[in-house]
């Protein structure tokens, strides 16, 4: 799965038809500072996210509603087809003072833009009388790198918490008689139990678990062992004993085929296909996994459970997030904020996410997830969001650091470097990149 497709799934980013939105966008200039508004006196707000024409659909209801409410504001949507191209283009625009007024920022990139000082602080407006999205409406843990020194520079659009989907049929075929969700409800969903199930699945000729090589899965496993990734601003995963234990379990599991890396599975027989064909017991992912199941799986065979812990008590879940931010150089700060606050509000998220696979970042919209009551323990997504965390601010503040960590870990997963040497290299890599940033 490409970076764009994975991020689209993880963040539930679905965008409205570019043609439809462009048709109602009116005229607007090419730059945030130098743009000229329409001759009819309307203010043009340019906004951007990543998305391909084939995936565009969910913004139209919001756009129509916003245009009806604000006839004095014209929206000009400027999508970028791939996530790989989106950030470089946005950086170029910010440097040349031609960036949109409002734009999406991924959870792996928000820290850089905050550090660069190119985003408008939002706290005063969020708490003000014109706000439709008060600070208390959002879950603190999912801000990640969008906050710095107590100042908010981006608001979560929506989320997708990382959970473990599991296949009851695959588990039964492997001789597993216990139900993970029932164990979780009883407070006995432990890492030892989970790994024992994985061993039985492997013995039955199946994958125990399928993971994407990203912080959501890796750091959730580290948390499950009681380890730490960052501590006091220092990257400690290679040295923390419990973190090393988690990383060793992952490395051993990848190499003996107990675990499969979704990034390495062939496109025609990828993780979704493997899962619906009962070739794996667990698949780590967000609510978006339901799409694969509904297309080709036996719906009743699948459910979800949080990542396990050492003692069966809940642990913080990793939450994929993206943020809406305002260009500090926008000459239409008031109108840009009006767009932002309505976009991330309960009403805005209801319009954008209804029928999709995102999990709202705002309180009071949980029915978007629970409607239809699928899977059976669908509220696990909400619990994971409420107590979860977006990627660590210390990590996302360094451009490219998350990718560099993932790339180094992939060398370990594939056995291209040994665990001890690989983790030593990882520590050196992180310290070096942070040193340059500092």
Q: Count up the domains in the chain and report the number.
A: 2
And the tokens for 50?
A: 């990543």
Reduced to 3 states (helix: H, G, I; strand: E, B; else coil), residue 291 is helix
244 CA to centre of own chain: 25
Same domain, 118 and 235: no
Same domain, 123 and 148: yes
- The confidence score (pLDDT) of residue 56 equals 62
Q: Provide the sign of the torsion angle of the four alpha carbons 51, 329, 157, 317, taken in this order.
A: positive
Residue 421 lies in a domain: yes
DSSP state of 47: E
Residue 308 lies in a domain: yes
* Host H or E run for residue 381: helix 379-386
Same domain, 188 and 273: yes
Tell me if 187 sits within 8 A of 354, measured CB to CB. Answer: no
- The confidence score (pLDDT) of residue 25 equals 36
Torsion of CA 279, 282, 284, 288, to 10 degrees: 70
Tell me if 170 sits within 8 A of 201, measured CB to CB. Answer: yes
The contacts of residue 5 (CB under 8 Å, 6+ apart) are none
Separation of alpha carbons 304 and 151, rounded Å: 35
Q: Is 278 left (phi over 0), alpha (psi -120 to 50) or beta?
A: left
Residue 149 lies in a domain: yes
Mean pLDDT per 10-residue segment, the chain (438 residues): 38 34 36 51 93 68 95 95 93 97 95 95 97 94 95 97 98 98 98 98 98 97 98 97 98 98 94 96 97 90 98 96 97 98 97 92 96 95 96 92 97 98 98 86
Residue 393 lies in a domain: no
Tell me which residue has tokens 């539930």. 12
Same domain, 73 and 133: yes
Domain end, chosen from 354, 382, 410, is at 382
And the tokens for 229?
A: 């990734």
- The confidence score (pLDDT) of residue 375 equals 97
65 CA to centre of own chain: 26
Same domain, 61 and 173: no
Same domain, 157 and 168: no
Q: Provide the sign of the torsion angle of the four alpha carbons 251, 141, 151, 102, taken in this order.
A: positive
Tell me if 410 sits within 8 A of 261, measured CB to CB. Answer: yes
| Helix residue ranges per DSSP H, 117-240 | 123-126, 168-173, 180-185, 191-203, 215-224
Reduced to 3 states (helix: H, G, I; strand: E, B; else coil), residue 101 is coil
Q: Provide the sign of the torsion angle of the four alpha carbons 304, 306, 308, 314, taken in this order.
A: negative
Q: Is 236 left (phi over 0), alpha (psi -120 to 50) or beta?
A: alpha
Separation of alpha carbons 314 and 385, rounded Å: 12
Write the CATH number for 110: 3.40.190.10
- Taking each helix axis from N to C end, the angle separating 401-413 and 215-224, rounded to the nearest 10 degrees, works out to 70
pTM value is 0.90
- The confidence score (pLDDT) of residue 15 equals 34
Same domain, 7 and 49: yes
Same domain, 148 and 118: yes
Residue 101 lies in a domain: yes
Domain limits at 151? 3-161+320-382
Same domain, 238 and 257: yes
Tell me which residue has tokens 């996410």. 353
Same domain, 203 and 218: yes
Residue 390 lies in a domain: no
Residue 392 lies in a domain: no
And the tokens for 416?
A: 């291209």
Residue 430 lies in a domain: yes
Same domain, 61 and 196: no
Separation of alpha carbons 60 and 351, rounded Å: 9
Same domain, 177 and 286: yes
């Amino acid at each position: 799965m490409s970076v764009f497709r994975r991020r689209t799934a993880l963040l539930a980013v679905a965008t409205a038809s570019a043609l439809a939105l462009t048709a109602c966008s009116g005229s607007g200039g090419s730059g945030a500072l130098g743009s000229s508004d329409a001759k009819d006196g309307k203010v043009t707000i340019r906004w951007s996210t990543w998305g391909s024409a084939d995936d565009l659909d969910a913004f139209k209801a919001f756009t129509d509603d916003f245009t009806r409410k604000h006839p004095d504001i014209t929206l000009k949507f400027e999508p970028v087809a791939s996530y790989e191209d989106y950030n470089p283009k946005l950086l170029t625009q910010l440097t040349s003072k031609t960036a949109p007024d409002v734009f999406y920022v991924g959870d792996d990139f928000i820290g850089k833009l905050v550090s660069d000082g190119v985003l408008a602080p939002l706290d005063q407006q969020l708490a003000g009388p014109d706000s439709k999205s008060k600070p208390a409406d959002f879950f603190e843990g999912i801000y990640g790198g969008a906050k710095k020194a107590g100042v908010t520079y981006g608001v979560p659009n929506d989320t997708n918490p990382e959970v473990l989907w599991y296949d009851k049929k695959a588990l039964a075929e492997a001789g597993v008689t216990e139900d993970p969700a029932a164990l979780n409800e009883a407070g006995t969903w432990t890492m030892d139990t989970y790994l024992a199930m994985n061993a039985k699945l492997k013995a039955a000729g199946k994958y125990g678990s399928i993971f994407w090589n990203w912080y959501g899965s890796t750091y959730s496993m580290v948390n499950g062992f009681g380890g730490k990734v960052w501590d006091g601003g220092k990257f400690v995963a290679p040295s923390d004993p419990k973190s090393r234990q988690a990383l060793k379990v992952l490395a051993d599991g990848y190499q003996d085929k107990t675990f499969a890396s979704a990034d390495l599975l062939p496109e025609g027989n990828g993780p979704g296909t493997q899962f619906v064909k009962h070739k794996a017991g667990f698949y780590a992912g967000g609510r978006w996994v339901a799409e694969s199941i509904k297309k080709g799986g036996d719906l009743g065979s699948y459910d979800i459970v949080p990542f396990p812990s050492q003692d069966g008590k809940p642990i913080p879940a990793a939450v994929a997030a993206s943020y809406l931010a305002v260009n500090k150089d926008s000459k239409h700060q008031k109108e840009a904020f009006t767009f932002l606050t309505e976009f991330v509000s309960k009403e805005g998220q209801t319009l954008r996410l209804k029928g999709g696979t995102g999990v709202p970042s705002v309180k009071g919209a949980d029915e978007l997830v629970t409607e239809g009551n699928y899977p059976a323990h669908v509220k696990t997504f909400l619990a994971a969001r409420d107590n979860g965390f977006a990627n660590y601010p210390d990590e996302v503040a360094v451009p490219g650091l998350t990718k560099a960590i993932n790339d180094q870990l992939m060398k370990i997963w594939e056995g291209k470097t040994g665990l001890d040497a690989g983790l030593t290299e990882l520590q050196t890599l992180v310290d070096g990149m942070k040193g340059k940033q500092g």
